[in-house]
Amino acid sequence: MYDTVVATTEHVARPPAPWQDVPWEKWNDWRWQLSNRLNTVEEFSRFMRLTEDEIVGLSAPDHFRVDVTPYFASLMDPDDPACPVRLQIMPTAAELAPFTAEMADSLSEDAHSPVPGLVHRYPDRVLMLVTTQCASYCRYCTRSRIVGDASATFSRAAHDAQIDYIARTPQVRDVLLSGGDPLTIPQKVLEDLLRRLRAIPHVEIIRIG
């Protein structure tokens, strides 16, 4: 398995293969990581032995989106298909087989959504979905019906409707920003959302997760 990658170069001379020639300033730059994500058989085959199941999963035209940052990929055991990190992000043929208990919205979030992207299941808290994008996509994602879909984005108008609902619902004291990964949206957008939520008197807790 690859050596543990740390944020500094004190104990590790260079990033793991096949990225050993990437300068540390790029390797530690989240923008470089997002720009160099892996998602094809050819890209993964450069550093790991793919199983037949993984090749089928990666090659399927309608699979849930695959994107893996080089850092995340470096945590996988390239020789062990049972590696827990590998199982988290690598699609397999089994993922393509329908089964009787399959549900598009297994947490019934849409049924508790007063406005698009806002889930109000419990009286004093809401889940605010601000993006459908992630740096890497977990195969067990409970929001795969929307997450990773470039056409299923949340616009400024959607954010406005979410915040308007929170502002006129005084029992809401706890707001959890989620998605997708809120930390992938532009910083100025995230700052604006946090500023507007902080301005609502009855909102006491703002979380990102």
- Among residues 194, 202, 123, 130, the alpha carbon closest in space to that of 161 is found at 130
Structural domain contains residue 103: no
Q: Do 146 and 77 belong together in one domain?
A: no
Number of domains in the chain: 2
Domain end marker among 54, 71, 96: 96
Note the pLDDT of residue 40. Answer: 96
Are 26 and 35 in contact, with CB atoms under 8 Å apart?
no
Q: How many CB atoms lie within 10 A of CB 4?
A: 10
CA distance 175 to 164: 13
Q: Do 66 and 147 belong together in one domain?
A: no
Q: Do 121 and 31 belong together in one domain?
A: no
- Asked whether the predicted pLDDT for residue 203 surpasses 50, the reply is yes
> Residue 204 corresponds to which amino acid?
E
Q: What is the pLDDT of residues 48-106, one digit of tens each?
A: 999 999 999 999 887 789 999 999 999 999 999 999 999 999 999 988 888 777 777 77
φ, ψ of residue 204 in degrees (nearest 5): -100, -30
Q: Do 71 and 128 belong together in one domain?
A: no
* Model pTM above 0.95: no
Paired tokens of 60: 């399927």
Domain end marker among 74, 96, 118: 96
Q: Do 145 and 200 belong together in one domain?
A: yes
Q: Do 115 and 78 belong together in one domain?
A: no
Q: For tokens 């090659």, what's the residue? A: 59
Residue-range definition of the domain harbouring residue 149: 110-208
